[in-house]
Amino acid sequence: MAASGGRDWEKRTRYCGTLRKEDAGREVVLNGWVQTRRDHGGVIFLDLRDITGIVQVVCNPEFSREAHSSARSVRSEYVLSCRGVVRERPAEAVNPRLSTGEVEVMAERVTVINPSRTPPFEIEEGREVDENLRLRYRYLDLRRPELKEALVLRSRVTREVREFLSSRGFLEIETPILTKSTPEGARDFVVPSRLQPGKFYALPQSPQLFKQLLMVAGFDRYYQIARCFRDEDLRADRQPEFTQIDLEMSFVDPEDVMSLMDEMFVHLFREVLGVELYRPFPRLTWRQAMERYGTDRPDPRWGMEIRDFSGLYRDSEFRVFRSALEVGGRIRGFRVQGLRSPSRRELDELVEEAHRLGAQGLVWMVREGEDLRSPAAKFLSAQEVEGTLRESGLGEGEVLVLAAGGEEVGEVLSGLRDYCARRYFTRPREQYSFVWITDFPLFDWDEEEKRYKSNHHPFTSPSRECLDFLEENPSQVTSESYDLVLNGVELGGGSIRIHDAELQARVFRILGLDEEQAREKFGFLLEAFQYGPPPHGGIAFGLDRLVMIMAGKESIREVIAFPKTQSGTDPLTGAPDAIYPEQLGELRLRPV
RNA sequence: GGAGCCGUGGUGUAGUCAGGUUAACACGCCGGCCUGUCAAGCCGGAGAUCGCGGGUUCAAAUCCCGUCGGUUCCGCCA
């Protein structure tokens, strides 16, 4: 065996997936895993896999008796070192489905570096495998191309984010993982302190306060690919620990942040996916988004904008409409796209879906010539029919859906848009649709606690024009905030922060925090703000969700190397787990 | 906390609604044959107390109750 030093295997000279026709005649050494073995009795074919791809290794006894005999004992997922000569495949044996399909390696020597047990599932593309099994053997799951490619993509995304931001003067600075619990927001993960018995660190929900301190410190532009922790229930797009592209800038307004982020995503999609996006990304105020899409994270790709038809039915004989209007409600709806001359069944399904979404009811109207087919038809005047046709722009056989009620109708219609898009639209007009949503309300009324809560966080700056009525009418106050939505998924959001102590105090008062409480909770930040805080603002994006969309996946688990199950466990390591009584003792903890 | 779907050899599924004799199929695995395959092929073989517990019944993978795990959604979460 031609080993060197203490090794009993030969180091590779090339990667499997890189071999091409031009390499014919070259002697190479490959290191990798056996993807498959095809034994023809005489000749044995091995597909050898490494991070770059797969190449066929031919073990022919006439070429090398030794290689052939070692290959006989080889099985799937064995780790090999193969020395051989690259040669062009015979024309009829070319495999167009492999990037290396025009060549093969004639093995001179095959060394088994390590055998492998038969894997619990097949390491192959597109196989459905039980989620628990996949996670328990994640290192095997990660050998499969989909997952491997997703992580390669993820690495390229973070590299390009770093590349872009550092080229724009941002400094990458780490912030603590062991930190202080902050009120508001999600439930904290908590870590007991040994040195301070009875006291606890909290894991950060985001680096929010630290990045603001970095602005006070004068770093001007900060970013971090930051791990964040929130102890809430999991979803397909939510893990207890997740990663944000987090950044903050000094001396900026919302425009600066948004236009720079436009540039960043254009750069990212160009470099990583080769997709050209158009700048600037469209923007909607929160109010506009709610009005036209019924949600603060619209997907405009489907069209079907919501319109207000209230004016048409002021004096309608149709009681559902008239009585809704009489109590201050509205009639809103949209033209369903992709559905023409529907069956009664399809219409019933729309109504059913609306009920599922919490609607009292749904009225459909189908254009038939100059007339409307609808459960409400016999109550509608000629004028109302004519107006409906005109204002909706309904084509022959097309469907208008209308719902009557208060603002909650928007939510129903939004859900119904999604339903119609899934049901009747096969392909979107564009693959990627970015939208900025701006001017969110600063406060939300919390009905349970009977108080205002921050929509974003307590340091978000109110819009300038709202300063005069901050206290008088908090629910009408908008903020200098912005969310970026991609294909109906909230990618991230941010705001310009308050840098004025007096204004901050006013906001705290509205949130029901007196000076003392504010000092207790955020004292260190407020104190820092007494030493010359610059105007500043920033934003944070969910990296997992971004990569999920870029990779075309349905769950962020598919773009995270070692994710957790919905119940927050890791079947691979067995976390979370009990700890020894001694450990509890050291921490002065006792199970309840 | 609530609702839906899923759980059957190593893997993926059929069988469950309408209970009935050896639980079927594909892949994988093991052995044999085979010198151009690449989802290799052909022949043979092993491998499942049907997630777990209880109940109904002459009889339960199948019906009922409970429980555990996975997953999706609501609540929660920016």
Distance CA(A29)–CA(A80), nearest Å, equals 10
Same domain, yes or no: A314 and A371: yes
Which tens digit of pLDDT belongs to each residue from A523-558? 889 899 999 999 999 999 999 999 999 999 999 999
- Asked if residue A563 has pLDDT above 90, the reply is yes
- The answer, as to whether pTM is greater than 0.90, is yes
Count of structural domains within chain A: 4
Residue A570, Cα to own-chain centre: how many angstroms?
21
Q: What is the DSSP string of A70-122?
A: HHHH--TT-EEEEEEEEEEPPGGG--TTSTTTTEEEEEEEEEEEE--PPPSS-
Same domain, yes or no: A101 and A42: yes
Q: Residue A533 class from Cβ within 10 Å (0-12 exposed, 13-18 middle, 19+ buried)? A: buried
Q: Residue A23 is part of a domain; what is its CATH number?
A: 2.40.50.140
Same domain, yes or no: A463 and A514: yes
Q: How far is the CA of A187 from the C1' of B4 (A)?
A: 27
Tell me which of A114, A129, A154 is where a domain ends. Answer: A114
Residue A250, beta-bridge partner list: A536
Which residue is associated with the tokens 């040994």? Answer: A194
Tell me which of A114, A129, A155 is where a domain ends. Answer: A114
What percentage of residues in chain A have a pLDDT greater than 70? 98
Distance CA(A177)–CA(A173), nearest Å, equals 13
Which tens digit of pLDDT belongs to each residue from A337-382? 888 888 888 888 888 888 888 888 899 999 999 999 999 999 999 9
Q: Which domain holds residue A181?
A: 146-279+540-586
Same domain, yes or no: A64 and A92: yes
Question: Cα-flanking dihedrals φ and ψ of residue A451, to 5°?
Answer: -155, 165
Cβ count near A235 (within 10 Å): 10
Distance CA(A384)–CA(A377), nearest Å, equals 10
Q: What is the DSSP string of A542-561?
A: EHHHHHHHHTT-SSGGGG-S
Q: Residue A423 is part of a domain; what is its CATH number?
A: 3.30.1360.30
Per-residue pLDDT band for A517 (boundaries 50, 70, 90) equals confident
A160 lies in some domain: yes
Same domain, yes or no: A403 and A453: no
A446 lies in some domain: yes
Residue partners of A469: CB distance under 8 A and separation at least 6? A476, A477
Per-residue pLDDT band for A126 (boundaries 50, 70, 90) equals confident
Q: Contact at 8 Å (CB) between A257 and A482? A: yes
Same domain, yes or no: A346 and A255: no
Q: How far is the CA of A239 from the C1' of B72 (A)?
A: 15
Q: How far is the CA of A465 from the C1' of B73 (A)?
A: 40
A566 lies in some domain: yes
What pLDDT, on the 0 to 100 scale, is given for residue A358? 80
Question: Residue A130, CA: closest nucleotide via C1'?
Answer: B70
Same domain, yes or no: A498 and A545: no
Residue partners of A281: CB distance under 8 A and separation at least 6? A258, A262, A265, A434, A435, A436, A484
Same domain, yes or no: A414 and A342: yes
Which bases in strand B are touched by protein, i.e. have an atom under 7 Å from a CB? Answer: 1, 10-13, 27-30, 33-41, 69-78
Q: How far is the CA of A133 from the C1' of B20 (A)?
A: 35
Which tens digit of pLDDT belongs to each residue from A163-200? 999 999 999 999 999 999 876 789 999 999 999 999 99
**Nearest in space to A508 (alpha carbons), one of A470, A469, A466:** A470
- Asked if residue A428 has pLDDT above 70, the reply is no
**Alpha helical stretches, state H, A327-456:** 344-356, 382-392, 408-424
Tell me which of A428, A447, A472 is where a domain ends. Answer: A428
- Asked if residue A426 has pLDDT above 70, the reply is no
A159 lies in some domain: yes
What pLDDT, on the 0 to 100 scale, is given for residue A340? 87
Same domain, yes or no: A462 and A498: yes
What pLDDT, on the 0 to 100 scale, is given for residue A4? 56
